[in-house]
Structure 1
């Protein structure tokens, strides 16, 4: 096995060199007093000859971890985030929750306040080093990560990094955490051996047992009204094409309920929308594909005797304590490979050329066409003013290039758009840690500078995103993200949920519902202009097409960030 022998360095430099050798492009960092050996290593790199990740200073931890989240969604390559001891780690927690629930692999590094009070390089030298000491720093996030460790010895660096990345990228994927005491980072190393090939690799993708797949094929073939419910089947091209293939060949309607990742072109004849209510009511077989929440039991009733198959890397979502959706057959395995195997078995039982499939396809395609036409017409009627979110989404769909990447955090209606390619739409993780959309879009733009990247967010979500930090990053790293704020002046999700729980209650009848208003609203355009971004406020429907055209011109030609503050009515 080929080995790389690192020259005289510190543990910090050895760690960074190992990350670079393992394909980590960037260290997204919010630095503190624990970073001194890392900063010294980056500064010494030109003379040491070590290849290190690109250091990126991100002025808020939540933005850093959401950027790593978005970078992985755009590339499939996990990145490293480092934050300042326990206080920085605390600021990452919402992002870690999002990454955990969205099965996003990333390596979260946290400094560890020095333990020694004297006698070592890196010992305590500031009052905060006593105030930041904890008995169990990793305990604050241990339930959320797949693996957690504190580096003890210099010689551990290569094997610990390999193990962390292998666990993070093994299905079901997720974040991992490594704490780094400052004294250990300062330790000298000379001639540390780094295997050129990782000593540990991610678990190879699995597929369900042949007997289980055959049973699933029997159930789908026998069903008169089969239904596919998914949330993340098409996050990457292989899953996207596999789902489209099986839906097309066997006339299987697909519903995407609150999808964090688009799985089927919205204008595909087998796309049955984003609300499972109607399709679920007539289903006699449901194939749930990588969906934590395929429907809401309180609102959507599963028909009596309807069988349910759940398929995915973790079909039972074992990390979720309470999840009572029926599961007559659990198929554990890689989504794309499993769907292709299932399709081959279905062909033996229900040929794609059969009359049953042809008639079902014709019926479903006609239903899709009528429903889509109705949705588009309703969106066009939503001009207002104030505009409805569907109207704004329609104008976006008409303006954006085919290969644009859109991140939506309570800010866009995907049902009136198209998203014909995998990786073109990402909705917010079901953990609901708000403030994710804008920095995740920044991470995707960092990964895909040639693409137009858009963040559509509610005004509340925008405030959660620490927008001053995000716009500073956009300018500093030249990330020309287009941010569209759908500004309704309130926490609309809180407003809607209160009305759902108490439809005839006092809050629903109140002129102003308590704890939901965001008025008086700041002038959001000034926040973006503070970082030299182009910004406009749009209140009338006739103003929107021109504003979008100008925004795209600035993004593409000037490579400068843009913010559009679009006034909309509550959905």
Structure 2
């Protein structure tokens, strides 16, 4: 290599960071350790231009923040953690980004691979022996779309770009890349004209895949001919394009839309076509049992057969970025046909094909569509009446989730709200009563590991600020048990440090209702034990799912990040709490916590 081809010498760590930056990664969340001196040196040099670095005192919060950023923007974020200990510290967030197909790049160092000073970075601390494990990558391997080790800095850029190809291609998900301290410290020359293998534009993700002409003709004919079609989805709304494409097709043919265990809000809840949400419980969904054609779009659990399922005579079709559910061992959804596609593209193609279809403009099709519209508007009106009834203030003055949601909704009128829903047994109450109608306005963790809300709120706020939406209001909805899982001391500290204030609503029901409910489904006889005790204890205490005495949630948030907080027990306290909390977040730029005390489990 001649001198004219070389700009300077950089370390392996710098090569990794520049590769991320050149590939368009703008946010890196770090929890640093003794394997990272070369990274720290690069941070201190101020040579990074567009890659912003954020310190997180906890790894799970860091990965949840990266998740929140990626979910709001659709673009990957990155995380840097410390050897195998920090990798384990990522905890349940690894499960969430994997099951939620969220594009996140996870980087970690390893202990030094030399121990007698043979290379820069060789072992010089006792912990370098203690943190030596046989297979660090095995800790997270089964959750990754791609995982590898950078053994020399010369191909660091190529490995980073390859990892990004996987996490940005459907089905998306996380990648995990490690490097020893020696590899991170080793210096290499940087060419002025990098080879094609180091050019992000030459190593891009797969292009979105749509439906073939034959599939479009077949599926459009089936939908046009259907008497009572139904669309079921869980994560079609992960992009604005997907949200709008689903709305376009549904409105075109007056097809009702049901959201089952949604990760994102997928359809306007204010539309007469919306059939509501369902997680656990709820019984048989009428729209599902009466449908003659069911189109499942991007859903891991379109229904739970023990409680709700389609008619045996229904024709079921499946569009999904991951139709085989490649990371799930036991899964089955019998259907006529399934296609691996980008739903936003496939649904848009379908709408275009339907419009051009000879039968679309026929009198019989028009008659079916108009009849469906009348029926669905009546059903929607009846459902809205039930929801409004549920929002009424109880006669005893105690607060319910639907009533609180109605008052919060009123307080937020005129504001653009981005809700993060980790309300466990109140997921449906939040989704039903927020009345959201814009894409990416209610988002879930993507998985089942609780505690995502806190870091996600920081990441979502940073994402909104980066995209000119700093005035949006981020609201995290969480149960009392889930709130504790979120390592709140870390998240509220980050919110203060990085000026990402958010509002948290804690549903305090005195414990973990989900495991109690799971017990009741299998052992209904346990319900008979639900009686008051002379010592004031309840069944939840015997089941070991009680959180009593209740922690001082607000004081924890205040101590960690100067958050404002209040507790609401009565309906006459709700409006003032909401008004003050909004003022704290929007005007004083302080996080706010409203603890809503509801009936104890």
TM range (shorter): over 0.9
Q: Alpha-carbon deviation of 1:245?
A: 1.0
Q: From the superposition, tell whether residues 147 and 10 of structure 1 become closer, same or farther in structure 2 (CA, over 3 Å).
A: same
2:373 match: 361
Give the Å deviation of 1:7: 2.1
Post-superposition shift, 1:324? 1.6
Superposition pairs of residues 353-502 of structure 1, within 5 angstroms: 354-382=366-394, 385-400=397-412, 401-410=414-423, 411-412=426-427, 413-429=430-446, 431-449=447-465, 450=470, 451-502=472-523
**Counterpart Cα distance in 1 of 2:5 and 2:354:** 50
Distance verdict in 2 for CA 1:217–1:52, change over 3 Å: closer
Equivalent in the alignment of 2:211: 208
| CA distance in structure 2 between the aligned counterparts of 1:319 and 1:209, rounded to whole angstroms | 26
- Corresponding position of 1:9: 10
1:243 counterpart (225, 241, 246): 246
Q: Cα distance, 1:51 vs. partner?
A: 2.8
CA contact (8 A) 1:375 1:416 kept: yes
Residues 570 and 506 (structure 1), Cα distance of their counterparts in 2 relative to 1, 3 Å cut:
closer
Q: Which range moved further: 168-177 or 416-425?
A: 416-425
2:535 is aligned to none
The separation in 2 between residues aligned to 1:477 and 1:388, in whole angstroms, is 34
Superposition deviation, residue 570 in structure 1:
5.2
Q: Which whole-Å CA distance do the structure 1 matches of 2:226 and 2:529 have between them?
A: 42
Alpha-carbon displacement from aligned partner over 1:477-528 (angstroms, at most 9, x marks no partner): 1111111111111101112222222223367646413121011111111011
How far is 1:222 from its partner?
Answer: 2.4
Partners of 1:80 and 1:32 in 2: CA distance: 17
TM-score (norm 2): 0.91
Mean CA deviation greater in 494-503 or 348-357: 348-357
The one of 553, 565, 582 equivalent to 1:524 is 553
Deviation (angstroms), 1:267: 0.9
Task: Output the CA distance in 2 between the equivalents of 1:295 and 1:440.
Answer: 27
Corresponding position: 1:536 with 2:566: yes
The answer to whether the 8 A contact 1:489-1:517 is kept is: yes
Alignment partner, residue 284 of structure 1: 292
Cα-to-partner distance string for 1:320-352 (whole Å, 9 max, x where unaligned): 111122221102211111112222333313349
* Distance in 2 of aligned mates of 1:508 and 1:286: 42
- CA drift of 1:92 comes to 1.2
| Counterpart residue number, 1:350 | 360
What is the rounded CA distance, in whole Å, between the counterparts of 1:115 and 1:391 in structure 2?
A: 59
- After the TM superposition, which residues 541-560 of structure 1 pair with which residues of structure 2 at under 5 Å, given as runs? 541-560=571-590
Structure 1 distance, partners of 2:262, 2:237, is 10
**1:47-446 → structure 2 map (5 Å cutoff):** 49-51=47-49, 53-118=51-116, 119-192=118-191, 194=194, 195=198, 197-275=200-278, 277-347=285-355, 348=357, 349-351=359-361, 354-382=366-394, 385-400=397-412, 401-410=414-423, 411-412=426-427, 413-429=430-446, 431-446=447-462
Q: Secondary structure at 2:230's aligned position in 1?
A: strand
d(CA) in 1 for partners of 2:244 and 2:449?
A: 30
Q: 2: distance between equivalents of 1:383 and 1:329? A: 52
Distance apart, 1:8 and its partner CA: 2.1
What is the rounded CA distance, in whole Å, between the counterparts of 2:529 and 2:318 in structure 1?
38
SS in structure 2 of the partner of residue 59 of structure 1: coil
What do the CA deviations read for 1:279-306 (whole angstroms, capped 9, x no partner)? 1111111110100001101111321211
Kept in 1, the 8 Å contact 2:61–2:490? The answer is yes
Structure 1 residue 5, shift from structure 2 partner:
5.8
- Please report the RMSD computed on the Cα atoms of aligned residues, expressed in angstroms: 1.9
Segment of structure 1 superposing worse, 348-357 or 60-69: 348-357
Structure-1 separation of matches of 2:14 and 2:395: 57
Between the aligned partners of 2:360 and 2:379, the Cα distance in structure 1 is 22
Query: By how many angstroms is 1:381 displaced?
Result: 4.2
Q: 2:38: which partner in 1?
A: 37
Distance in 2 separating the partners of 1:448 and 1:88: 28
Q: Residues of 2 paired with 1:485 and 1:61: CA distance? A: 23
Distance in 2 separating the partners of 1:367 and 1:387: 28
Look up the SS of the partner of 2:276 in the other structure.
coil
Residue range with higher mean Cα deviation, 67-76 or 367-376: 367-376
1:190 counterpart SS class: strand
Distance apart, 1:197 and its partner CA: 4.1
| 1:331–1:196 CA distance, 2 compared to 1 (3 A) | closer
Larger deviation: 62-71 or 312-321? Answer: 312-321
Q: In the alignment, is the contact (CA less than 8 A) between 2:397 and 2:572 conserved in 1?
A: no
SS of corresponding position for 1:143:
helix
- Structure 2: stretches of 5+ with no match in the other structure: 279-283, 532-537
The more displaced of 137-146 and 311-320 is 311-320
Give the Cα–Cα distance (whole angstroms) in 2 for the partners of residues 58 and 134 of structure 1: 25
Deviations 1:143-170 (A, max 9, x none): 1101100101111022111111111100
SS at match of 1:243: helix
User: Using the alignment, how far apart are the partners of 2:72 and 2:66 within structure 1?
Assistant: 10
Count of residues paired in the alignment: 565
Range moving further from structure 2, 382-391 or 544-553: 382-391
Encode CA deviations 1:433-472: one digit per residue, 9 max, x unaligned.
0001121111100111312111010001100001111111
Counterpart secondary structure, 1:565: strand
Counterpart-to-counterpart distance in 1, 2:304 and 2:490? 36
Per the normalisation by structure 1, the TM-score is 0.95
In 2, are the aligned partners of 1:6 and 1:14 still within 8 Å (CA)?
Answer: no
